[in-house]
A and B are shown apart, each in its own frame.
Chain A
Amino acid sequence: MFSLLGVPPQVLFGQLLLGLINGSFYALLSLGLAVIFGMLNVINFAHGALYMVGAFVAWLLLTYAGVGYWGALVVAPVVVGLLGIVLEKTMLSRLYKLDHLYGLLLTFGLALILEGAFRHQYGVSGQPYPIPAALQGGQNLGFMFLPNYRAWVVVASLTVCFGTWFAIERTKLGAYLRAATENPTLVQAFGINVPVMVSLTYGFGVALAGLAGVLAAPIYQVSPLMGTNLIIIVFAVVVIGGMGSILGAIITGLGLGLLEGLTKVFYPEASNIVVFVVMAIVLLIKPAGLFGRER
């Protein structure tokens, strides 16, 4: 049997597949981040926390309301989205006229509050969330055992990613949003209700995080800290992809998932750093990111 750098090809395929699965999480999260950044110019530091909230809402629904996975898949993003809209209306909206850095700082504070509150309430060890019955078990692909749930995650997040991309890049909506980022007053003067649109966009962006949270719940522990470290990696993904670029976020998310998967095989110790290394290299060569536009 031939092998690649000492790794049999089957194993390599398996690892690539796993990388793709991880990448689809990155893509979904960085997509939300990119939507919010691209449209509102806000770096949503609370994104990881809202991802966590999404997972928790799913868990709470299951535990206290008997609403299962499929229900949560709809309800949790809506709840997170509404929470996002409230946050946007009451706080973020006051900051648009100021330097963008204040948005970052505000959401940083919000992330601390959300995570701290859940930690205080539910402890840090996390809560179990079962894989829905319909998706239990897996397929033996020969080179690996692929749990059905993971396959579903890839399909679901890619569908959502490309759907979002289409809606934003290929419809008038995207043009409104981009224009509103630049000059909300003028867009308003064209007869478009910008504040509502902006709130909805933020709500949608964080709803994507909430959705990722629900998707993650059965794989990872539903824990208050689940978003904390992830968010930094997702930041790096967005920077590499080019901030605000929707397609960049999706493609980079997937690409880095794969790259990370490979690193886990060949040099696992570096699997967390590899993203940052790539980031540094990309920035040196292309300061605006792979798909970013110099502003």
Chain B
Amino acid sequence: MSAASNSTSVAMRGPSRGSTMATTLIAAVLLLIAVAAPFVLYPVFLMKVLCFALFACAFNLLIGFAGLLSFGHAAFFGGAAYVTAHVVKEWGWAPEFGLLAATVVAAGLGLVFGLIAIRRQGIYFAMITLALSQMVFFLALQLPFTHGEDGIQGVPRGTLFGLFDLSQPLTMYYTVLAIFVAGFALIWRTVHSPFGQVLKAIRENEPRAVSLGYRTDRYKLVAFVLSASLAGLAGGTKALVFQLASLTDVTWQMSGEVVLMTLLGGMGTLFGPVVGAGLVVTLESYLASTSLPVPVVIGCIFVVCVLVFRRGIVGELLARLPRRGH
């Protein structure tokens, strides 16, 4: 039993019910800011942040609420980007179907990964997902349709539902925002659903959940597939935004990056991954024009987070807020 409780302590408690109101309020304010943002900030940058934020949120669903660290989420993100890019560019599908295809393929991939990996926990799970995603990487590299290191380029953004011309930056932006909000809402709902409750229980004490009659593997599998699908949706969206799909997004370094985003923002908090993604993307684009070696800086942040800052930014903030309830 000590092993079970060990492997769960990574995940932190979500906000208590008492703070749900506050969360709603914060969400509304953030949404307003997001709507106004493209008039102040560079839309492509914002879209990138949103894509990664959704990716990180999807990842967080797994680590933060099911206690499973996947070190292979890049496979879903990057794999789905290829799918969208391919069906939209080569088969001429409409963008909404491109995204749907990405989500479905990622879900399928998630199911396969899940069936293999879900039987182990903790680091075992992390290593297995890592190895499996590495397999996807080699496939992406070697299959002809991905065009090797060139990637799939010049993906047309197309017209959403035949109505919205996505080549307009603002239209694209609001589409991405809508996708993000929908994805985020789904995660929120999941976390606060009957399913989410069982998930938390499993994270807390798996043998006990079994003895209560829950087939825990299935719950974990559903969570995994859900997380993979949303990661896929994020990847597909990114392919549309940048009009390309490339190997970068399937490398294991990308899996590491999403861990960093989540860790930095705060695992197991709803907004943490969003903040983390925003910070990491900003940092990367800032570092691009300096002479600092990017990996070293990222590595240092990792180390600092793990050593002294485990709750992440949002987690720290929540912990400092006066505790209410009880």
Direct contact of A and B (CB under 8 A): yes
A-to-B contact residues, CB < 8 Å: 41, 43, 91, 94-95, 98-102, 104-106, 108-117, 119-120, 232, 235-236, 238-239, 243, 269, 272-273, 275-277, 279-280, 283-284, 287, 295
Q: A272 vs B130: C-alpha distance in the bound complex, in angstroms?
A: 14
Q: Which of B131, B297, B302 contacts A105 (CB 8 A)?
A: B302
Q: What chain A residues lie within 8 Å of B10 (beta carbons)?
A: 98-99, 101-102
Shortest Cβ distance from A108 into chain B, in angstroms?
Answer: 6
Chain B, residue nearest A280 (CB): B116
Nearest residue (CB) in B for A295 is B3
Asked if B101 is at the interface (CB within 8 A of a chain A CB), the reply is no
Known: A95-B306, A235-B130, A236-B131. 13 other contacts (CB 8 A): A98-B9, A99-B10, A99-B122, A100-B122, A104-B123, A105-B259, A116-B297, A119-B295, A120-B293, A238-B127, A280-B132, A283-B116, A283-B128
Determine whether B169 belongs to the interface, using a CB cutoff of 8 Å to chain A. Answer: no
B interface list, Cβ under 8 A from A: 3, 6-10, 69, 71, 116-117, 119-120, 122-124, 126-128, 130-132, 134-135, 138-139, 142, 252, 256, 259, 263, 293-303, 305-307, 310
A235–B317 Cα gap in the complex (Å)? 36
Structural contact, A112 and B307, CB atoms closer than 8 A:
no
A272 to B137, CA, bound (A): 11
| Chain A contacts for B131, CB-based, 8 A | 232, 235-236, 239, 275-276, 279-280
Find the B residue at minimum CB distance from A100. B123
**Secondary structure class of chain A's binding surface, majority of residues:** helix
Tell me if A113 and B296 are in contact (CB < 8 A). Answer: yes
B307 near A106: Cβ-Cβ < 8 Å: yes
What's the least CB distance linking A176 to chain B, in Å? 20
Expressed in whole angstroms, the minimum distance between the Cβ of A224 and any Cβ of chain B is 10
The 9 A-B residue pairs whose C-beta atoms are closest, nearest first, are A109-B302, A112-B299, A116-B295, A113-B299, A116-B296, A109-B303, A99-B10, A120-B293, A276-B135
The docked-state distance in angstroms from the alpha carbon of A110 to that of B263 is 15
Q: For B123, list chain A residues within 8 Å (CB).
A: 41, 43, 100-101, 104, 243
* Cβ–Cβ < 8 Å partners of B263 in chain A: 105
Whether A235 contacts B294 in the complex (CB less than 8 A), given A105-B306, A280-B116, comes out as no
